[in-house]
Structure 1
């Protein structure tokens, strides 16, 4: 699975069951390194999610990691705390938003 497909699946799950983001608004910039990576923006607003290639809006939180680690994180196979401590994940902005990102991922796994 690619990073873009992982994001598309995440957005679909959130929009199908928006209670996971009810009342929460954020703009995440995802700088994903590796062959399947790129720069992406995940926008959560008015109980809807959307993603786009590129980073056109100002970010609430920026996450930088490899394509493999992003997919592993989305699948629940990567501990973000360990990834942060070991340098596999870099976070810029409000740390609370990165924790919320983890909660959103947890809430969308089937």
Structure 2
């Protein structure tokens, strides 16, 4: 496991912890996001949000996801920190989205609530 993979693992665990510590914004949400971090081996993560509970897994079943977000580590970290807007990342090719575009927009809005 590379240092970069460990860092992404930690980030995903932190996201899960933050969402579950303050579940109010996700209490009525039902979405499964697949993050495909392109520049690391085994960089596929599922974030499942169901009725106020968030769970991150390394499950690689891409068919489970409502929305697939594909980006490199740098873009992923900037996206999470709010330093890269999803629409800008998408328009400049730093983010590729497959699936429900509405869910992708919902994710960005949700993450802003946890800054």
Give the TM-score, by structure 1 length: 0.91
- Number of residues of Structure 1 aligned to a counterpart in Structure 2: 109
Question: Which residue number in structure 2 is paired with residue 102 of structure 1?
Answer: 108
2:86 touches 2:105 (CA, 8 Å); kept in 1? Answer: no
Choose between structure 1 and 2 for higher RCO, CA contacts under 8 A separated by at least 6 residues. Answer: 1
- Which structure has the highest strand share of the two? 1
> 2:67 aligned to 61, 64, 83, which one?
61
Structure 1: gaps spanning 5 or more residues: none
Distance across 2 between alignment mates of 1:48 and 1:101: 15
1:27 touches 1:61 (CA, 8 Å); kept in 2? Answer: yes
Distance across 2 between alignment mates of 1:51 and 1:81: 24
Taking the TM superposition and a 5 Å limit, the aligned residue runs for 1:30-69 are 30-35=35-40, 38-56=43-61, 58-69=64-75
Structure 2: gaps spanning 5 or more residues: none
Does 1:93 find its partner at 2:92?
no
Give the TM-score, by structure 2 length: 0.87
Distance across 1 between alignment mates of 2:84 and 2:41: 18
State the 4+ residue runs in structure 1 displaced beyond 2 angstroms. 54-57
> 2:28 aligned to 17, 20, 23, which one?
23
Report the CA distance between 1:35 and its aligned residue.
3.5
- The DSSP-based 3-state class of the residue aligned with 2:106 is helix
Aligned-pair RMSD on alpha carbons? 1.6
